[in-house]
Amino acid sequence: MGPSLKLLTVAGIPVRVHWTFFLLLGWFLLSPFVRGSEHALAEGLRSTAFVLAVFACVVLHEFGHALAARTFGVRTRDVTLLPIGGVARLERMPERPGQELIVALAGPAVNVLLAIVMVPLALVLNGPEAFLPAPGATILNIPFLPALASINVFLAVFNLVPAFPMDGGRVLRAVLAMTMSRARATSVAAGVGQALAIGFALLGLVAGNVLLMLVAVFVFLGAGAEAQATRTTEALRGMTVADAMVRRFRVLHESDTLREAADELISGEQHDFPVLRDGAADDDAGALAGVLPRAGLIRALANGGLAARVGDAMEPSCPAVRPDDPLERALELSRGGAASGPGGVPPSRTSCSLVPVAEPAAGPSGAQLRLVGMVTSENVMELVAVRSALRSRAR
């Protein structure tokens, strides 16, 4: 999701702000000065305060999803604020339709509850006329609380539009999945979402509304991505890590130079490398210190040159999995799963270029772990392609 700043941790869930969010705040703060407004400073500060209040409601919305998911044993990696809204990164969505329905509805339910609290307060403090501001009203003379209550109503309604990636798309899938397979329900819900996106685009084109056209693109792509992710998950169902892991691979050590890493990259087909502590055997999973992906290697070469150490350029590793683990688990971890692995490697908060595969080494204690392979998104997708081709031939 790109560079982000951690603000705080609530209920064990980190709250992060993407760097582009500060551009949004800057725009609201400075735009009155650009327009030459008579009360530019007051308008800018009030606008910025209102945006922060709106995004506080967005954070509460996302925590509605996160805490509902927690009741079903699903962890949330973090909640991140973006200029277009918030994202609660769940490890996965519950697959039982009833559970997914509850998690999907929990976010809009928070906005409804906020509106239920705010509307009576606004009526008492500002009167009913505050919900119908006069034409030409500015941020300085629009009452704060009625506007925030109205925004919460809008957030609840908009998020229930039956289109991925909004909550309404997940609600629709959950309802459909009560009478059909999850894969079929996802396909139907994605189709409905893309049809709505086309409608939004046409309406935006006719009305000259650029924002509506951008929403249409967002919905169309989001629906397609959700359908593809579900197809991938379904294709991997019943498969184990051993079915997809790379068994022939090279490792690096922390004291190796980037010249050695670059030689390995150029001379072979491997793009991502496990990095072990110095002095460890090449198959000692307990000595796994991190990983060096191709992109990280190229970036480190540009910054430090060929003489730099691999240990200074490596990135945190995903937890290790076992060969007999479900392949879906490795895929979840590669997307940033937070579960601890058998190798004792600290969990990664972001996506991983590779997931190490380890198994107990032969010996009296059975405690030492042996590195026997790795799983990358590339070879998982190759496996999906092979299985899809074989299924097509079998029809």
Cα gap 374→377, rounded to integer Å: 10
Give tens-digit pLDDT for 50-76: 889 988 999 999 999 999 999 998 888
**Region 275-282 average pLDDT:** 84
Assign 314 to helix, strand or coil. Answer: coil
Assign 288 to helix, strand or coil. Answer: strand
Cross-strand pairs, 290:
275
When pLDDT is cut at 50, 70 and 90, the band that residue 141 belongs to is: low
Cα gap 308→285, rounded to integer Å: 24
Minimum mean pLDDT range among 160-169, 233-242, 364-373: 364-373
Cα gap 367→365, rounded to integer Å: 5
Please, what sign has the CA dihedral across residues 144, 146, 150, 155? positive
Angle at 354 between CA 348 and CA 356, to 5 degrees: 85
Phi, psi of 240 (to 5 degrees): -110, 170
pLDDT computed for residue 362 by the predictor: 65
Cα gap 277→317, rounded to integer Å: 13
pTM of the full structure: 0.71
Query: Does residue 249 contact residue 373 with C-beta atoms inside 8 Å?
Result: yes
When pLDDT is cut at 50, 70 and 90, the band that residue 134 belongs to is: low
pLDDT computed for residue 342 by the predictor: 31
Give tens-digit pLDDT for 308-342: 898 888 888 778 888 888 888 887 777 654 333 33
User: Mean pLDDT of all residues in the chain?
Assistant: 82
